[in-house]
Amino acid sequence: MLESVALAEVTRGPFVESRHFGHAVITRADGEIVEAWGDPSKVVLPRSSAKMLQALPLLESGAGAHLDTRQLALACASHSGEQRHVDLVNAWLADLGLDEHALCCGPQPSQDEALFEAMIREGVAPTRVHNNCSGKHAGFLTLTRHLNASPDYVDPEHPVQRAVRTAMEEVCDEQSAGFGIDGCSAPNFAVSLAGMARGMAAFAVAGQASGARDRAMSALRDAMMAHPELVSGKGRACAAMMQAARGGAAVKTGAEGFYIAILPGLKLGVALKIEDGATRGAEAAMAAILVRLGVADASDPLLAPYLAGPIENRNRQVVGELRPAPGLVERA
């Protein structure tokens, strides 16, 4: 088993104060590893980075044939609970004849500052629709309705989750070692880092073959790139990186320092995991890899907070920076 390597660091003055160690891998759809840092065979929980895999059965089954690109983006989203996210999910549930109580994810305060404060002033409690995973769960409910299955769709043995596991194992080309329960109560199936990257490369090359799965992967990938702020939110890292890539990447975060990228132009997939779970380290490393591969430009102001993010003290003085580990941006 290979050791983790430094992927990001934090400076203070002339000193490197902290380092975020982890693993990252870039692969082709056939599983060939193009580049790797740390241990590509490390078994991981991809958390919300797996949402496009979790949405595959929704489209493969035909259950989501009527959904528009905004709904497909939300099915892959860890959204901020902005009003536009809430409105779209509520409309989706209404189309199913359901409301937020049908969602199995718990309530979560909106991550949109203005809406969060307005709800406090008005005494309005957060709902399950504000949960960052509510779009994914609306997709699960749509598939549940199509299968005429029971409403407990987050049960690992439920037909929806069995379909998710099968799709994930087939696309990543490996058997899952098991699962953990995610923050939204759905099972999150384990996979190797290289397997996850291979799965993302499969999404990257989708659209060149026939069949329901190829069409589903292409549709989900394209919806993510078409609606980056529905996949995350205004000012969020996933949206910024996709916008900086100018249609060249679908990028998705996952909890505990996980990140993926789907790169259609290069026909590559990327997966990375920061060992200490720090999102800031994962964001810096992913931004660096996008620049390294020529998918985004280091001079793009959208990437600046992740390639040289200022560290400020209480007086708003810049005293250091968060940056990728040396050498990660540039190829040797």
pLDDT in tens, 175-227: 999 999 999 999 999 999 999 999 999 999 999 878 999 999 999 999 999 99
DSSP 246: T
What are the beta bridge partners of residue 192? 43
Per-residue pLDDT band for 248 (boundaries 50, 70, 90) equals very high
What are the beta bridge partners of residue 33? 27
Structural domains of the chain, count: 1
Does residue 332 lie in a domain region? no
pLDDT of residue 28: 98
Q: Check whether 1 has a pLDDT greater than 80.
A: no
The Cα-based distances of 224 to 69, 75, 219, 266 in angstroms read 8, 9, 9, 17
Does residue 202 lie in a domain region? yes
Does residue 295 lie in a domain region? yes
Consecutive H or E run containing 196: helix 193-205
Q: Check whether 299 has a pLDDT greater than 70.
A: yes
pLDDT of residue 145: 97
pLDDT of residue 331: 80
Does residue 331 lie in a domain region? no
253-277 pLDDT per residue, tens: 999 999 999 999 999 999 999 999 9
pLDDT of residue 89: 98
Does residue 109 lie in a domain region? yes
Per-residue pLDDT band for 332 (boundaries 50, 70, 90) equals low
Q: Check whether 173 has a pLDDT greater than 70.
A: yes
DSSP letter for each residue of 3-68:
PPEEEEEEEETTEEEEEEEEEEEEEETT--EEEEES-TT-EE--GGGGHHHHTHHHHHTSTTTT--
Amino acid making up residue 163? A
Label residue 257 left, alpha or beta by phi (over 0 means left) and psi (-120 to 50 means alpha): left
Mean per-residue pLDDT, 47-60: 98
Going through 75-231 in order, the beta strands assigned E by DSSP cover: 179-181, 187-189, 191-192
pLDDT of residue 87: 98
pLDDT of residue 317: 97
Mean per-residue pLDDT, 35-64: 98
State the first-to-last Cα distance of the chain, in angstroms, to the nearest integer. 25
User: What is the spatial distance between Cα 216 and Cα 227, in angstroms, rounded to a whole number?
Assistant: 17
Does residue 320 lie in a domain region? yes
Of 210, 239, 241, the closest CA to residue 227 belongs to 239
pLDDT of residue 214: 96
Does residue 147 lie in a domain region? yes
Does residue 330 lie in a domain region? no
DSSP letter for each residue of 85-121:
HHHHHHHHHHHTT--GGG--SPP---S-HHHHHHHHH
Using DSSP's 3-state secondary structure scheme, residue 203 falls into helix
Q: Check whether 40 has a pLDDT greater than 70.
A: yes
Specify the CATH number for the domain of residue 171.
3.40.710
With a pLDDT cut of 90, the percent of the chain lying above it is 98
pTM: 0.96
pLDDT of residue 209: 79
Residue with tokens 């309005």: 124
The mean pLDDT of the chain is 97
Amino acid making up residue 28? R
What is the span of the domain harbouring residue 50?
Answer: 5-324
